[in-house]
Amino acid sequence: MDIETALKEAMQVDGAVGVSLVDAESGMMLGSAGGGREFDLETASAGNTEVVRSMRRALDVLGVRDGIEDILVSLDRQYHLVRLLERADSPLFLYLVLDRSRANLALARHSLRLIARALDL
């Protein structure tokens, strides 16, 4: 599945506000869908690069050698879901923002996992 198709599929998840594919080293978006005036995906994507880095540093300090599957931030009205895609050449992540009142978190995580597996880069 190409990037555009993956982003379109992610936007079909109930409650989806926006989604992006992000380079975890630079914070640059490789693609996005949704967001707009409702939500600044570019700024949020770059900010979540720092979340990923911080989580990796914390796990390293703790001596945890497991890979990060996903990171969830729960807000009053939103869920922010970061799904890491470890690639040998470049670490990437899918970042999905959900309206909490319309989202099913378990289904969103499952859908994002399937999309990540099918993504052909």
**Does 90 score more than 90 pLDDT?**
no
Q: How confident is the model at residue 69 (pLDDT cuts 50, 70, 90)?
A: confident
Domains of the chain listed by start with CATH number: 3-118 (3.30.450.30)
| Number of CB atoms found within 10 A of residue 24's CB | 20
Residue 87's pLDDT is 66
**Does 89 score more than 80 pLDDT?**
no
* Predicted TM-score of the model (pTM): 0.91
| Number of CB atoms found within 10 A of residue 109's CB | 18
Which burial class, exposed, middle or buried, applies to 115 when counting CB atoms under 10 A from its CB (0-12, 13-18, 19+)? buried
* Tokens matching residue 104: 């099913």
